[in-house]
Structure 1
Amino acid sequence: MKYSMFPFVLILVLISSVFAHPIHLSVSEVNYNSESNSIEIAQKVFIDDLEDGIELMGGPKLFLYTDKEHQDSDTWLAKYFQQHIKLKVNEKEVMLKWVGRETDPKHDIQAIWIYMEVTKIKKIKALEVKNTVLLAVHNDQRNMVHLTCNDDKVSWLFDEKKITEIIQW
């Protein structure tokens, strides 16, 4: 009996195409800490996408969490996020300060957490968030932001069509 390989090849191609399509999503937490008068930002992104984004802005290949990691990785990471996350507090643009980064080598070496903050914020009446993280890398990139401020919790989804949100109290 002679079997055609076409159905098997077709099924293999269909299955592999489902798994070959990656998700392009970042998640961030933006929290106002009234005790320290600061806005704390934690952003989780995929390492390979972030490295591509830094290269697109003229940076070097970082090789994060490898033996070949670039010596100025933190400087490039801070520069990238300062360019792609913009905050205005009470209609005044504020500068994000680098706090650090981490990954979990035992469980999730594909993603990295980036930590930034804005200090000396006594009261927030209005907050504008602009997020363009990785939009130049993938046209289907989505950036989810969870904001906690002034006893309010909101979530936004940013993409190439929507990069800015404003909330007022």
Structure 2
Amino acid sequence: MSGIAPHAFHVAVSEIEFDEDKRQLEITHRIFLDDLEQGLSAWSGQAIDILNPADPANLDMLIGKYLSEKTSYHINGKLATANYLGSEKEDAVMYCYQVIKGVKKVKSINVSNKVLMEIFEDQSNVMHITNASETKSLKLNESEPNGQVNFQ
């Protein structure tokens, strides 16, 4: 690892918020830098240095491809494409952003989030999903990487 202090648990937190005015779902993933570095290195077969990347644009492209492969979303029963917008580091966390456009209404969201589950058996991915003023949460892990929430 590239100078990042390890930690005793493996969790990533994601927030999905429906913006009715923009007709889109805005997704933010918060992933520990050291975990993401290990995950990207294992997934890509390349040595990754998150703190000091040799090519920041390539690192960002890898993060986008990784998230596209490890996450999927079904909105109201239909597969939706999440476009990767970019990422930014803050303290020991990488914030990664995706958006799903063209969403008129959200009745249900089925999420698959397998981020880092290929390298950490104890990985948990917590999803907070907000539609209007209602927030529902899912805790996804290796034995249950998919979950669904329904809204009125």
State the Cα distance separating 1:130 from its structure 2 match: 0.9
2:102 to 114, 120, 125: 120
Residue 89 of structure 2 corresponds to 103
Normalising by the residue count of structure 2, what TM-score does the alignment of the two structures yield?
A: 0.87
Residue 141 of structure 1 corresponds to 123
1:29 to 1, 15, 22: 15
More helix by share: 1
Query: Aligned pairs, how many?
Result: 146
CA deviation map 1:84-128 (0-9, x unaligned): 111001211111111121122xxx1x2111011101111122210
Listed as ranges, the matches of 1:71-110 within 5 Å are 71-104=57-90, 108=91, 110=92
Query: Are residues 21 and 67 of structure 1, via their aligned partners in 2, closer, same or farther at CA, if it must alter by over 3 Å?
Result: closer
Listed as ranges, the matches of 1:11-30 within 5 Å are 22-30=8-16
Residue 146 of structure 2 corresponds to residue 160 of structure 1: no
Query: Are residues 71 and 162 of structure 1, via their aligned partners in 2, closer, same or farther at CA, if it must alter by over 3 Å?
Result: same
Q: Percent identity?
A: 25
2:36 to 37, 50, 60: 50
Distance in structure 2 (CA, Å) of the matches to 1:86 and 1:139: 20
CA deviation map 1:54-81 (0-9, x unaligned): 2222342331231534541111100111
Residue ranges of structure 2 left out of the alignment (5+ in a row): 1-5
Residue ranges of structure 1 left out of the alignment (5+ in a row): 1-19
3-state DSSP class of the match of 1:22? coil
Paired residues of 2:26 and 2:99 also in contact (CA < 8 A)? yes
Distance in structure 2 (CA, Å) of the matches to 1:29 and 1:39: 10
3-state DSSP class of the match of 1:86? strand
